[in-house]
Amino acid sequence: MPMASAKRSSESVKPAPPPLLPADSEDSQLTLLLREYLKDEDISQVWDAYRFSDAAHKGQVRRSGEPYISHPVAVACILAEMHLDTPTLLAALLHDVVEDTGITKQEISDQFGKQVAELVDGLSKLDKIEFQSATQAQAENFRKMLLAMSQDVRVILVKLADRLHNMQTLDVMGTEKRKRIALETIDIYAPIANRLGINNIYHQLEDLSFKYLYPMRYNVISKAVKAARGNRKEVVGKIQDAIRQKLQEAQIEADVTGREKNLYSIYKKMTGKNTTFSQIYDIYGFRVIVKDQPTCYLALGILHSLYKPIPGKFKDYIAIPKANGYQSLHSTLFGPFGTPIEVQIRSQEMHNIAEAGVAAHWMYKSSDAHLTALQQQTHQWLQRLLDIQSESADSLEFLEHFKVDLFPDEVYVFTPRGKIMALPKGATAVDFAYAVHTDVGNCCVAVKINHELAPLRTELHNGDNVEIITSAMAKPNPAWLNYVVSGKARAHIRHFLKSMQTAESAHLGQRMLNQALRALHVDPADIDEARWQKLLRDYGARDKQEVLTDIGLGKRLNVMVAHQLMAKTEEQKAEEGLLDSAMERQARQLNKVLDTITIRGSEGMAVQFAQCCRPIPGDPILGFINKDKGLVIHTHDCPAIRKFRLDPEKWLDVEWDPDGKRLYKVNLKLTVANERGMLAKIASGIADAGSNIDHVSMEEPDGSAYTNMHFTVQVRNRVHLADLMRRLRRIPDMVRINRVKGSGADQRAQ
C-alpha cells in the first residue's frame, strides 16, 4: 500500500459537497465512491435503499430549501469514503425514514432485512414518548442510541456521519439553535469520535463546533494561522527537507509531511496555558510514516541526532497505546533558530488506525493484530456502557456517567501482575478497583501504590503499580462519590447506596406499619394478600416493598396505610375522594399510642442522626419523619425542631436499645491555656478514655493566654462521654469543657 499523506489543512472545516442527484446515476458522487470497493450487487442494494428513502421523503425539504433526500445521501457519501459495509450504507440512507415518515421498522425489515432495521431503529429518536422536559427527552435519545451502539458500533458511525453533515450545513439555523447543537456536538459527539479513534471526523466536529460557539475567536485564530502559514512556510519546508534527507542517509524509507494543528486544539492550548497565539510554536508539526514498528524507534534515534529532544516532552504511545487504539511516538525537538517542533512517528498500519479508528476494520481489510486488539478494547468500552446503564436510575444519570467516561486524557497504571490499565485523568484507587471488577470496588478497604499503603482517595499517576486490598465485610462509602472520576465507579457506587437505602427504608417501614396495626388491635399476620393487592392498585405502586419504602422515607403515613389495609368502608371512601378530616384526626391520635421504635444505631441509611445536635444513647430523643431522608433522630431539646414539636404528624416516639454497640459522634469545645504540648495531652486523654478523635480544629490565636479547641469524638453513650469529660478536666491548664449541640446554620431540622 502506498504511503498515505498525513497533510491536513488548518481549514479542516470543509463545506459539505452537494450530492449529485439522483444518487443512483452513473456519475453521482455516491456511485463513484461505491465503485471503489463494492460489488455490483451491493451497489444495486444501495440504489434500492436510495429510491425507497427518496419516495418516503417525497415533498420534504431541508431548512436550506434542498430536497430532504440530499441529507441521507451526503451521510452515505461520508461513510462510503470510510469504506463502510453495505448494511451501514443502507441504514445511512434510511436513518430518518422511521422518524420523519409513516414507514415502520417492520417495513424496513421486510424490505432490507432485520440487521438494517435494527441499525435504523437505534438511530431513530423517541418522539412518541412524552417526557417531563426537553433535556430528559434528549438524554433518553442518547441513552437509546448508545445502547444500540453497544450492540453494534455501526450505529454510532452512522450517527457521527449524520452529525458531521448537519454541522457542515448549520448556517441555515438560528443563532440559538446553532449554539445548542454545537455545544451538544463538542460535549458528546466529538469525544465519542475521539474515543473510537476516528480522528478525521473528530477534528472536523471540534472545529465546526468552535466556529459556531465562538465565531469571533474562530475567525481571529483562523486569520492568524493563515498569516503564520505564509511567514513560516520557508522554515517548515527546510525542516521537512532536513528530516527527509537524514532518514534517507540512514536508508530508512519514510513519508514525511508537515501538519497543521486544527483550530480548536490551538484555542485549547491558548486558554489552557494562558498564552497568546504568537507564543505557540507547534502550530506546525511533522509526521513520519515508516514501514513497521522497529523502524519507528530507529527513525526516532535519527531525529534525536538531528535535533536535540526537549526533556520531558517524549511520549511512547506504541509501547502503551491510548485506549482508542492510537499508536505513535511523540517527541518535541529544538528545531532551527530554537523553535520547538513536534514530530510524530508511526507505521503505516498505525497511521490507518490513527485516522480511521474502529472504522479501519472496514476500510483496511487487514489481519493486523493491533486492529484486532482495538476491536476488543472498543467492545470492552461498549460493555462498560451497558454496565453503567444497568446501574443508572434514569436517562439523565446515565448521560452524566457517560460524559464522565469520555475523558480525553488518561493515566496508565499497572496491576500487581503487570497488566496495563487505562483510567481517566485524575482517577483514584477506587476508580482502579472498579475498573478491575465491580466486586473488588464494592469491597475495597485499602490500597498499596508502588508497594506502600496509601489512602483510597489517592490520585494515580502514569506508571503506578496499584494493589487493592479487599474485605468481604466492606461496602461502598458515600464519601467516595466526592473523588471518583470514572463513570463506571460512580454508577456502581450510586446503585449500591440506593439499593441499600431502599432495603433499609423498607425494613424500617415494615416495623412502623406493624406497630400501627398493633395499635389498631390487628395482628400484621392477619392482613391477607388480597388486601395488599387492593392497596397496591389504589396507590399505583409496583409492589409491597415500594409502599414500605415510602413509609420508611416518610412519604406515606404509617397509620393511614394501616387504616386502608384493614377498613374496607374507609377504603371505599378513599376511592371516591370522600375521606374526611375526622379519619385524619383519628390517625393522628392513633399515632400517639404506638409502641416506641427502638433505635439500635445499626439501621444504616434509613435512620439518620441529626448533625445539629448529634444525639447519643442516654439522650432523650424524638424521631422526625423527613421526606426522602426517612427517620431523623434529634435530642428532645434540639432548637432546630422546636417548631415541629407542635405538629404531632411530624414526629414519632423512639427510644435507645440498651444493648447498642455503635460509636456516635459528639462535638466538644475546650478552652485551654496557650501552653506547648496541650494538644498532645488532650489527644492522650481521649485515647485513654477509649474514644477516637474524628476531627479537631483550633481558633486562630489572638495573642491571649487562652484558646478554644473544637473536637469531634466518638463515644458509646452518655456514660462514656461523662467519663471522657472527667478525664479531660483533670488535665492541667484545662479551663472549660462543654458539649456542643450545633450552632448557626446547623440549627435547623434535618
The catalytic residues are 99-100
701: number of Cβ within 10 Å: 8
Q: Which phi and psi angles does 288 have, rounded to 5°?
A: -115, 120
* Dihedral, 567, 568, 573, 579 alpha carbons, nearest 10: 10
Q: In angstroms, rounded to a whole number, what is the distance separating the alpha carbons of residues 187 and 189?
A: 7
* H or E element in which residue 341 lies: strand 340-347
With b meaning 16 or more CB within 10 Å and e meaning fewer, what string describes 71-85? bbbbbbbbbbebbbe
223: number of Cβ within 10 Å: 10
**Residue corresponding to grid cell 499508536:** 327
521: number of Cβ within 10 Å: 7
Contacts of 304 (CB under 8 A, 6+ apart): 331, 333
Q: In angstroms, rounded to a whole number, what is the distance separating the alpha carbons of residues 718 and 621?
A: 13
With b meaning 16 or more CB within 10 Å and e meaning fewer, what string describes 10-20? bebbeebeebb
- In 221-308 the beta strands, taken as DSSP E runs, fall at 255-260, 284-290
Contact 670, 736 (CB under 8 A): yes
Contact 68, 62 (CB under 8 A): yes
Contact 640, 749 (CB under 8 A): yes
What's the order of all strands across the beta sheet hosting 466-470?
452-454, 444-449, 466-470
Q: In angstroms, rounded to a whole number, what is the distance separating the alpha carbons of residues 215 and 202?
A: 19
Q: Which phi and psi angles does 347 have, rounded to 5°?
A: -85, 170
Q: In angstroms, rounded to a whole number, what is the distance separating the alpha carbons of residues 375 and 740?
A: 60
Nearest to 694 by CA among 721, 715, 709, 712: 712
Q: Write the DSSP assignment of 186-245 as a string of letters.
A: IIIIHHHHHHTT-HHHHHHHHHHHHHHHSHHHHHHHHHHHHHHHHHHHHHHHHHHHHHHH
Contact 329, 344 (CB under 8 A): yes
Q: In angstroms, rounded to a whole number, what is the distance separating the alpha carbons of residues 353 and 370?
A: 9
Nearest to 402 by CA among 152, 128, 150, 157: 150
Strand partners, 466: 449
* Dihedral, 136, 138, 141, 146 alpha carbons, nearest 10: -100
Q: In angstroms, rounded to a whole number, what is the distance separating the alpha carbons of residues 321 and 155?
A: 25
Classify 560 as helix, strand or coil. helix
C-alpha cell at 214: 465562538
The distance from CA 42 to its chain's CA centroid, rounded to whole angstroms, is 40
* H or E element in which residue 143 lies: helix 134-151
Contacts of 440 (CB under 8 A, 6+ apart): 433, 434, 468, 470
How many residues does the structure list for the chain?
Answer: 750
